[in-house]
Amino acid sequence: MIKVLEQGAWINSVDSLNEKELVSQTMLLTTRGEYSAAICIKKNNFEITRAYYSIHRCPDMSKRTEADIPEFTGGSGLYERIKAVKDLRDFDGDGKIKELLLECLKGLILAESYLLEELGYKSREEYETAWQVGKEGYCRPFENQMPPIEEWPNYIGAYEYYRKKNLYAKCKSYVILQKSEDEAVINGVYNDSFHQMRSELSYNLTSRNINAFDMVVIRAPHPPCYELSHTAAQSFIGKPIDSFSKREVGKIIGGSPGCFHLVDIVSDMASAAIELPKT
């Protein structure tokens, strides 16, 4: 008999609202909560025109609400807005809404590949050349040699097919299963428009130490993406799962040039185990 202790999914979609605006919306559905957040931006300069959130279900039901976030509007740089999220108030008391806003921003960054005309680029090659200046550490983790400018657009098929309505989609999910009286297993899955990954770990419910861990990259744009999975997995075994903040997970999975998609799903798995009510 399967005993499920907790499960959840993060779902992000970036869509055109009209000729001038995009909306990035992320929903989080878990056993104990339902949350959502959305960011609307101008296509030509990424200025945030509206940000809002909803809490429909959570451990403290008095916090259920739907509201705008006027203090997060304005600005013109998505990377700068990522840094600004940490200065926002904690809307739900657990940081869930701030995490959703980060997911919205990351989705917008990955949707940028389909906004060449709006951003003023004359060709895809011009955009790819611009990407390689100062962005080596974000999503394209190449410290020694950046890939050819044709590699990414060929991978996403942008020369033959150009997305206009839905520009990006992502779903991350996890489930915590009780395998025996004192052991739990967490399965995590990451699927988006450009990547597929999964991870599995088991940990002792009493000691909280990780007994086994593995992760695999199934679909990714560049060869170095595949090199981070199995090589980093052994570094988690024997360590307490409660110590794995997103920063600590990032240090293990490659540091600054590592794969932040793998960091995302593994840190989500750890957070779910940490937040799980102790029995």
Q: What is the pLDDT of residues 259-274, one digit of tens each?
A: 778 888 889 999 999 9
Mean pLDDT, residues 15-32? 96
Phi, psi of 116 (to 5 degrees): -60, -45
pLDDT tens by residue, 60-86: 899 999 999 999 999 877 888 888 999
| Least confident interval from 97-106, 114-123, 129-138, 243-252 | 129-138
User: Which tops the pLDDT comparison, 224 or 161?
Assistant: 161
Alpha carbons 169 and 223: distance in angstroms, whole number: 22
Question: What percent of the chain has pLDDT above 70?
Answer: 91
> What are the Cα distances from residue 172, in Å, to 45, 87, 193, 210?
28, 25, 12, 21
Alpha carbons 136 and 144: distance in angstroms, whole number: 9
CA torsion 26→172→277→33, rounded to 10°? Answer: 30
Confidence at residue 54, expressed as pLDDT on a 0 to 100 scale: 98
| Segment of 8-12, 71-75, 110-114, 237-241 carrying the highest mean pLDDT | 8-12
Confidence at residue 273, expressed as pLDDT on a 0 to 100 scale: 92
Confidence at residue 152, expressed as pLDDT on a 0 to 100 scale: 85
pLDDT at 208 > cutoff 70: yes
Mean pLDDT, residues 250-258? 68
In terms of phi and psi (left: phi > 0; alpha: psi -120 to 50; beta: otherwise), the region of 120 is: left
Q: Angle formed by the axes of helices 78-85 and 96-111, to 10°? A: 170
Strands 166-180 and 183-192: antiparallel
* Mean pLDDT of the residues in the chain: 88
Confidence at residue 140, expressed as pLDDT on a 0 to 100 scale: 47
pLDDT at 206 > cutoff 90: yes
Which residues are registered as beta bridge partners of 22?
Answer: 16, 41
Give the pLDDT band of residue 177 (cuts 50, 70, 90): very high
Confidence at residue 215, expressed as pLDDT on a 0 to 100 scale: 87
Question: What percent of the chain has pLDDT above 90?
Answer: 58
Angle at 35 between CA 30 and CA 39, to 5 degrees: 135
Is the domain spanning 172-275 CATH 3.30.390? The answer is: yes
Euclidean distance between the first and final Cα of the chain, in Å? 19
The pTM is what?
A: 0.90
User: Which tops the pLDDT comparison, 136 or 208?
Assistant: 208
pLDDT at 165 > cutoff 90: yes
pLDDT at 163 > cutoff 70: yes
